[in-house]
Structure 1
Amino acid sequence: MTGLFRLVGSVRARAALGATLVVAVALIAAGAAVLGSLRSSLTSQADSSAQSAAREVAVNLGLGHRLEQLELGDGSEHPIQVVDADGRLRAASEALQRITGTGVTAVRADLPKTTPSPAPGDGKGEGREEDEPEEDKAENGTAAPGRVRDGHSFVTGTATVLGRTSGYRFATAQVDTKAYGTLTIHAGALRDAEQRAVSTATAVMLVGLPVLLLVVGGVTWLVTRRALRPVESIRAEMAAITASEDLSRRVPESRSGDEVARLAWTTNETLAALEASVGRQRQFVADASHELRSPIASLRTQLEVGSAHPGLLDLDGAVADTVRLQRLATDLLLLARLDAGGPSTDRRVELDSLVREELRQRAARDTIAVHATVEEGVDVVGSGGQLARVLANLVDNAQRHARTRIDVTLAREATTAVLRVADDGDGVPDTQRERIFERFVRLDDARSRDDGGAGLGLAIARDVAERHGGTLTVCTSALGGALFELRLPGLRAVQGS
């Protein structure tokens, strides 16, 4: 049962069902239109035939033919009734046995086929042919001519002729005669052809529609199954990757260039990025463990020696190791916050004041003099604490590598704030200028706690710069050493955007 529900809920099933429903609605609508058009066309033909028969009788009466002279046939082709103004049947087809729809059910004339009586006061007897005025007699024995009225009406009914009952379309025509007054002619035309054609078309549709829907559903199922086969391969491979936790595996890619192929390509790109991210995380944990292990081991050793021999305790070294641990923990926490992408602080930062304050605090304790050129009124938007950390990291880096001089310059270039920190040290080789911004990377071989940091300062500086919409690059300075250039959008640029 679960498998059935899963099958019905699959994309293939929904696509096949949707296509079948759409085709079914379209075919039913088209079939109804075809049947309606066919019925209308055949009804129009029957109306035309009935109208022709009714008009022929009306024309004959209008020409002066007497009722007893009309040839109405046996009614097998066109059952005909002739009714006077009083609704009495005056003539009908010979084999007509029953009729409905015309409003007159009589099938046999019950009145004598004589001319009306002459007007009162003429002194002649009633119903006598010799009493008719001379002008009303025709040489050939017909009555005086009349007039056929324009317009016809149509009704649907039945008639029984020679023992067979069938459906008919009746046309009604009227003629004004001098001999009989106004006469109404009802003439019918068989609807058998219409009924047979509609019945045949309906039967064909009832048989063909389910077959066609089965074909549409089956073809849609097969086509969808073939189209989604690569998707199933991607799903199966992703399930295997999840189970094995092997991010080096990739899903199969087709060369069709369609949506499924692009999905596979995007999935592989995501897996590659995820693999790289996990790799960086593992490397970060390993490097952090390595950096933490040395000061912790040193601090433990000093404390153990001090515990056994209080006189041998290196208190200054213990404090230095503790400070180093504190800085490393602070750096790791800041990197974690930057990686988490938490909310940034969008406040106005007076970068010129921040640079002056940082250099003023260093003047008393740093051995290498720092020469500063700071332009007034250089403001940016961001976190003052994080930007101060960038400046401190850049100056610390310059202090470790400079020989005699460090230059710090802050200026505004158009709408960009530019901070440059240059030293007269050995500089950075061209091949290493991007690598130094990676975490836990140090180009110097020395790893003593006095001479080198943990390799996180420049990585933090670049991350903060990019988080503030800026850049941090390195090149060769005019002093011969390294020149680090920080570019940040100025306050006016941020407000303008």
Structure 2
Amino acid sequence: MAVDRVVARIRRVRARVGTVRAGTTAVATVIVAVALVVGAAALIAALRGTLIDEVEESAWAQAHEVARQLESGRPPTLEVAGSDEQLIQVLDPDGEVLAASRNVTGEAAVARLEPGESARVVTPLDDDPFVAVAAGAQTPAGPRTVVVARALIGVFETTSLITRLLIVGLPIVLFVVAGTTWLTVGRALAPVEAIRREVDEVSAAQLHHRVPQPRTDDEIGRLASTMNRMLARLERARNSQRRFVSDAAHELRSPITTIRQHAEVALAYPDRTTTEELAEVVLAEDLRMQHLVEDLLLLARADEHVRPPSAPVDVDDLVFDEAHRLRSITSPRVDTAAVTAARVRGDADALGRVLRNLGDNAARHAQSRIDFALTDRGGDVLLTVDDDGPGIPEPERGRVLERFVRLDTARSRDVGGSGLGLAIVDEIVRAHGGSVSISESPLGGVRVAVILPAGDG
């Protein structure tokens, strides 16, 4: 059991290492570490250079003071504050020591420097390096060189102390940076993790779930809003698909049931029906199923968003052909006086299907009159189909463009069809870049208006 717990912990650690949170923390820590190391090195170098310059300037000041004393003929002051940290020597042109501070009395010159020069030297006072400077003086006895050397041990001790402090402090700073980054990124990504968990639990049967919505209007808030809108679209699509499948099955069940009932009656009571009567029923129901299947296939292709062929189509010819068909099968008067020449680019067969469905819909509800109107408005083509039927209540006008929608006044399949005609019109027109709208007709019934982009061909 202990081994299993260790293995589980290792897996959790590995999982965390691969997360955005861990990656961001690692990157931020490395960048800060590099910046701090470079900054610390530059700080130590600058501090050491500044301290050495201060020691050197102090030595120059003392060397010039002794040189002025020699030039004025006064005895030079060769006393030093620290017996092991600084020294003074007065040299002749040959480099012989003429005078020196007491801590180097009797010692040879620590350096042979020309006036104005400086150098690092090793003195008999200590093994640590000194910085030595030389100043020239003109005395009655001849030229002299004053050499002042000061120890750099204080510089090294100071920089060493700063270095130790940085060695101790930098890991603490990096730990604070890593912890702060870990907590900050974790808090920032907490809504994302909540979104991930919620989406991971969403299934086809749980599309009503929504991800938590942060109150902030940042990237994560917008991501949550987008995810919720996506889930809402998926839910609507799922519900629409279920209704579509249910309605399609219901529509197909009706003719199948009719055929089966008539066949069973014909088998059970051969003397009550004839072969011709049975064939008529089967043929009629078969045609109904064929039309329904064709409509379903057309809508399925429309759902695939396949771009229709683009060719010049004279819409006025399609209108006249449909009007001629309606005159041969319906009693209402069909008026085409308001049809003018108009051309679009698209699929002639699909647009002919639009005219056929609009004509069948108008003929199904018209009492005595159907009017077609077609106008080329320059940028687009307007087609209207009016009837003098009972009309459609305004709240229901948008619904009739949906699939398998039949209003209460047209529920009978013999009268109301399958409820796919106007849905097919809407799909085809939108595929051609147009739009369909339903409104009240001046004749008292329904006006279906189709707008299509005009095309020259």
Q: Please state which band the TM-score falls in when normalised by the shorter chain.
A: 0.7 to 0.9
Kindly state the Cα deviation for residue 7 of structure 1 after the two structures are TM-superposed: 1.2
User: What is the letter of the counterpart of residue 312 of structure 1?
Assistant: T
Question: Which string of whole-angstrom CA distances, capped at 9 and with x for unpartnered residues, describes residues 336-368 of structure 1?
Answer: 122222334344333223323333444434443
Q: Which residue of 2 aligns with 1:255?
A: 215
1:337 aligns with 2:301: yes
Indicate the residue corresponding to 1:38 in structure 2.
47
Following superposition, the deviation at residue 377 of structure 1 comes to: 4.5
Q: Tell me the equivalent position of 1:192.
A: 153
Q: 1:364 to 1:375 in 2, by over 3 A?
A: closer
In the alignment, the residues of structure 2 paired with residue 465 and residue 88 of structure 1 have an alpha-carbon distance, to the nearest angstrom, of: 112
- The one of 338, 346, 351 equivalent to 1:382 is 346
Q: Which residue of 2 aligns with 1:72?
A: 78
For 1:5-84, list aligned pairs within 5 A: 5-63=14-72, 70-73=76-79, 76-84=84-92
The one-letter code sitting in structure 1 at the alignment partner of 2:275 is: L
8 A contact 1:306–1:313 mirrored in 2 = no
Q: Is the 8 A contact 1:42 1:194 kept in 2?
A: yes
Q: State the match for 1:171 in structure 2.
A: 133
The question of whether the paired residues in 2 share the 8 Å contact of 1:284 and 1:439 is answered with yes
SS at match of 1:251: coil
SS at match of 1:275: helix
Larger helix proportion of the pair: 2
After superposition, the Cα gap between the structure-2 partners of 1:48 and 1:239, relative to the gap in structure 1 and judged at 3 Å, is: same
Q: TM-score, normalised by structure 2?
A: 0.85
CA contact (8 A) 2:119 2:133 kept: yes
CA contact (8 A) 2:132 2:149 kept: yes
Match of 1:486 in 2: 450
Give the superposition deviation at 1:77. Answer: 4.7
Q: Which moved more, 1:302-311 or 1:338-347?
A: 302-311
Q: CA offsets, 1:274-331, max 9 Å, x none?
A: 1111011001000000001111222344556667859434323322222221111111
Moved more, 271-280 or 18-27: 18-27
Q: Tell me by how many angstroms 1:444 deviates.
A: 4.8
- Per the alignment, do residues 471 and 369 of structure 1 end up closer, same or farther by CA in structure 2, a change over 3 Å counting? same
Unaligned runs of 5+ in 2: 1-9
Aligned to 2:163: 202
Partner of residue 230 from structure 2, selected from 256, 267, 270: 270
Does the 8 Å CA contact 2:435/2:450 hold for their aligned counterparts? yes
Cα distance change, pair 287–79 in 1 and its aligned pair in 2 (3 A): same
User: Are the aligned partners of 1:159 and 1:167 in contact in 2 as well (CA < 8 Å)?
Assistant: yes
Q: 2:58 is aligned with what amino acid?
A: S
Aligned residue for 2:167, secondary structure, equals helix
In structure 2, relative to structure 1, the CA distance for the partners of 1:100 and 1:266 (3 Å cut) is farther
Counterpart amino acid of 2:129? G
What is the number of residues matched between the two proteins?
441
Of residues 323, 328, 336, the one that matches 2:287 is 323
Give ranges in structure 1 of 5+ residues lacking alignment. Answer: 105-148
Post-superposition offset of 1:462: 1.6
Q: Does 1:291 align with 2:251?
A: yes
Alpha-carbon separation, structure 2, partners of 1:215 and 1:168: 41
Alpha-carbon spacing, 1:172–1:302, altered in 2? closer, same or farther (3 Å) = farther
The whole-number CA distance in structure 2 between the counterparts of 1:71 and 1:444 is: 122
The answer (yes or no) to whether the contact 1:73–1:93 under 8 Å persists in 2 is yes
- Is the Cα–Cα contact under 8 Å of residues 255 and 289 in structure 2 kept in the other structure? yes
Q: Which residue of 2 aligns with 1:125?
A: none
Structure with max Cα Rg = 1
Partner of 1:135: none
Query: Which AA in structure 2 matches 1:216?
Result: V
Q: Which moved more, 1:229-238 or 1:476-485?
A: 229-238
> 1:281 is matched by which residue type in structure 2?
Q
Specify the alignment match of 1:358 in structure 2.
322
| Aligned partners of 1:248 and 1:275 also within 8 Å | yes
Partners of 1:372 and 1:198 in 2: CA distance: 102
Q: Residue 248 of structure 1: SS of its match in structure 2?
A: coil
Residues 215 and 221 in structure 2, CA contact (< 8 A), matched pair in contact too: yes
Percent identical residues:
38
* Cα deviation code 1:85-131 (max 9, x no counterpart): 55555554442398998457xxxxxxxxxxxxxxxxxxxxxxxxxxx
Q: Does the Cα contact within 8 Å between 1:253 and 1:265 map onto a contact in 2? A: yes
Aligned partners of 1:324 and 1:449 also within 8 Å: no
* Matches for 1:439-458 after TM superposition, within 5 Å: 439-444=403-408, 449-458=413-422
Check the 8 A contact 1:295/1:325 in 2, yes or no: yes
Secondary structure in 2 matching 1:385: helix
TM-score, normalization: structure 1?
A: 0.79
**Aligned match for 1:312, one of 270, 275, 279:** 275
- Separation in 1 of the partners of 2:419 and 2:195? 40
Instruction: Give SS of 1:171's match.
Output: strand
Once residues 458 and 293 of structure 1 are traced to their aligned partners in structure 2, the CA distance between those partners, rounded to angstroms, is 22
Structure 1 counterpart of 2:6:
none
Tell me the residue number matched to 1:213. Answer: 174
Q: Is 2:132–2:148's contact at 8 Å kept on the other side of the alignment?
A: yes
Please tell me whether the aligned partners of residues 351 and 428 of structure 2 are also in contact (alpha carbons under 8 angstroms).
yes
Structure-2 change in CA distance of 1:256 and 1:81 (3 Å)? same
Task: For residue 410 of structure 1, report the CA deviation from its aligned partner.
Answer: 0.4
Distance in 1 (alpha carbons) for counterparts of 2:349 and 2:59? 101
Counterpart amino acid of residue 154 in structure 2 = A
SS of the residue 2:306 aligns to: coil
Is it true that 1:400 corresponds to 2:383 in the alignment?
no
Q: 1:33 to 1:346 in 2, by over 3 A?
A: farther
Q: Whole-Å Cα distance in 1 between the matches of residues 337 and 91 of structure 2? A: 122
State whether residues 95 and 109 of structure 2, in contact with CA within 8 Å, keep that contact through their aligned partners in structure 1.
no
Determine helix, strand or coil for the equivalent of 2:251. Answer: helix
Deviation of the 1:203 alpha carbon: 1.1
Whole-Å Cα distance in 1 between the matches of residues 36 and 150 of structure 2?
32
